[in-house]
A and B are shown apart, each in its own frame.
Chain A
Amino acid sequence: MQKIITIAKKEATDSLGDKLFLVLLIFLLMLVVISIVVASMDFQNKVVEYNQSVKILESLGGGADSIYAPQFFPLKMLRSVVDYLEILGAVIGIILGYLSISKEKGKNTLQLLLSRPVKRWEIGLGKILGNSFVIWLVLGIAMFFIYGIMGFLGGAQLTGMEIMKLILVFIFSYLYIMFFFGLTSILAIKFKLLFNALLISFVVWLVIVLIIPQIGDTMDPDNQIPGGFFKAMNIAKSQEKQIMGNFKNYEFVRNATEESSITKHYERLSFALLGVKDEYNGKTIFAILNDKWWDGLWVFLFFLAPLFTELLIFEKNNLLINKE
């Protein structure tokens, strides 16, 4: 156990000392601040628009029953934070995975490490634990920032339940980031040219994080015209469901495209916990997880698969012949 902790400590110290990692951390925190500021301004804008509409309706002699007052849910303001964690969190995972292997390959230190009485899986596990610590540190700082900014900007104090939901979102964010860490580590071990490993990781990132969810969104019939197709057609939600029931195959293909990406599962679960979709606001964590367990399971499986593979590669493969 001591050996694993020593390797983990070394791994964490190396990552935290790398300029590249610091640049990414600062950029992520900047994005967190921008996201919350924009969301807060957007909410204020909606309140002003609502008040103006009420005034107009009242001046026309009618009531304001036909329009809904925007409701403030502090966690809802974190929608863009999740989007940025999807994009930049994955990049952080890729960079950590890349650095974790490239420094050993570049300096030939893996041979030295393997000549010591340390088991191969212990090296792999030490690396995973060390980088897990770094990712938790990043997420912890981001969470601290979120809590501080929300209180400072909007005077929004999070309730115990909201804090629990936020912590759960960050637990799943960790699993999500670790998927990219594991994937890049595997590629960096397997590829002779480290640059190619990094490049392939970025291509996978582009496809999983941005392109697959984009295809799913683009195929959504409701996303075809500004403001929404069904809204433009004056169709009620119940009628919409009835109509879409006739297009099950199309919806199946669209959904299957989205399901193939860990990003979409992470997003669905996080959005439900944050109450981005109104139907989840006010629901207990248990009720949300009961509804979204499928997405949670997928994120967990996506998290486990590359990490187990990495440990297997450390155990079975001749790591020395792949040095650059």
Chain B
Amino acid sequence: MKLLTVKTIAGGEFKTLVRQKTFVLLLTIFLFMAAFSAFIGWSTKNTVTKIYVATVRELISSGTKKMPVNPFLSAPPLSILKNMPTYVFLIGSLLAIIIGYSSFVRERKAGVIKIIFSRQISRVEFLLGKITGIFLVLSAIVGLSFVLSFFSVVIISGQMLVFSEMFKLLMFYLVSFLYLIIFAMLGLFFAIFAKSESLALLAPMIIWIFISFVMPQLTSALDPNSLLNPTSIQSIMPQSVFFTSTRFLLEPFSVSENYKTISQSFLQGDIKEYPIFSLIVYLFFTMSIPFLVIKKFNVCEVEIE
């Protein structure tokens, strides 16, 4: 394996992706959402605290003596970013699918795959270069979002984050990076495997809908829109045989739910669970399959439709 070849392909991939207008558009949306997430979190927290005060006043006037505790009193500073996992899960995943997808479809459409593979470049080296390029681009996006989120929290809360909070924020973005890799690899896999451009884009999106909405619905009975709320409106999970069985079977593999649980642990501090198993399984699986399909990829086939 020639490391220089891998490095050259990775560098080329990084530059090309960064130059793409569509990529820039999605990146802008993603970064905007990172900043917006902090703003919404701050605005909602402020308003709900005022609502709490108004509620207490109302309770006092109606003669209630035992006052409920303000549920936001113990919320950590990072909790204003609680919308961010939802945006990673929505916009980030789509962005990652497109990055993975376009990194191979571009060459297929331009018809340069035949030329590339006629050189002394092995398919594995080519793919490793592509994957490294994708890693670089995604780490740049995640890195920028981290910086943006960090400054948003510091500016909004008016105080510097302590080391433990900074570490939690860093860990949240690290897990988000791994989560995005899964979808980028799915995009890459279908870009190699699918016969048509539209199917190559749509197939990972269908899988995304299945992973993000259908699997959690089967385990929690929550409808798809409720799953987007960072605070679960459901106080307890259904306990029937059907749901306990689906939870037992599907939950370890419900990567989006597990990602949200881990993120909540880091950002909101209310759940101390780190179900990392599904993330490892999906990462291993999605990173292996492009290597398997590239070996069987027929360079002589007609170009992608």
Contact = CB atoms under 8 A, between A and B. Distances in A.
Interface of A: 19-20, 23-24, 27, 31, 34-35, 38-39, 41-42, 44-46, 48-49, 79-80, 83-84, 86-88, 91, 95, 98-99, 102, 106, 195-196, 198-200, 202-203, 206-207, 210-211, 213-215, 217-219, 221, 223-230, 232-235, 239, 242-244, 246-247, 250, 267
Contacts of B29: 203, 207
Contacts of B90: 206, 210-211, 214
Interface string B1-44: 00000000000000000000110011001000100000010011
A239 B229 contact: no
Given A199-B98, A218-B44, A246-B54, A80 B199 contact: no
Interface stretch (B136-144, B148-156, B212-220, B275-283): B212-220
A99 B199 CA distance: 12
Contacts of A95: 198, 202
B218 A34 contact: yes
Q: Counting chain B CB atoms within 10 Å of each CB, which of A19, A49, A83 scores highest?
A: A83
Interface of B: 21-22, 25-26, 29, 33, 40, 43-44, 47-48, 50-52, 54-55, 58-59, 62, 64, 68, 71-72, 83, 86-87, 90-91, 94, 98, 196-199, 201-203, 205-206, 209, 213-214, 217-218, 221, 223-225, 228-235, 238-240, 242-243, 305
A239 B29 CA distance: 39
A90 to B, nearest CB: 11
B47 A41 contact: no
A224 B48 contact: yes
B91 A206 contact: yes
Given A196-B21, A242-B58, A218 B83 contact: yes
B281 to A, nearest CB: 22
Contacts of B202: 20, 23-24, 91, 95
A80 B47 contact: no
Contacts of A31: 214
A213 B90 CA distance: 13
A202 B94 contact: yes
Contact of A80 (B54, B83, B223): B223
28 contacts: A20-B199, A34-B214, A45-B243, A80-B217, A83-B223, A88-B209, A91-B205, A199-B98, A203-B26, A203-B29, A206-B94, A213-B228, A214-B83, A214-B90, A215-B83, A217-B225, A217-B228, A218-B83, A218-B229, A225-B71, A225-B231, A226-B235, A228-B233, A232-B68, A232-B71, A235-B59, A246-B54, A247-B47
B68 A19 contact: no
Given A232-B71, A243-B58, A246-B54, 17 more contacts: A41-B238, A42-B238, A49-B239, A83-B213, A91-B202, A102-B198, A106-B305, A202-B94, A215-B83, A218-B83, A223-B233, A227-B235, A233-B52, A233-B59, A233-B68, A239-B55, A239-B62
A230 B209 CA distance: 32
Contacts of A20: 196, 198-199, 202
B32 to A, nearest CB: 11
A45 B238 contact: yes
Contacts, number: 168
A46 B201 CA distance: 40
Contacts of B62: 239
Contacts of B224: 80, 83-84, 87
Q: Helix, strand, loop or mixed for chain A's interface?
A: helix
B142 to A, nearest CB: 19
A196 to B, nearest CB: 6
Contacts of A98: 198
A230 B198 CA distance: 47
A198 to B, nearest CB: 7
B26 A195 contact: no
Q: Counting chain B CB atoms within 10 Å of each CB, which of A79, A195, A246 scores highest?
A: A195
B66 to A, nearest CB: 9
Given A34-B214, A203-B25, A221 B48 contact: yes
Given A20-B198, A44-B240, A214 B213 contact: no
B151 to A, nearest CB: 21
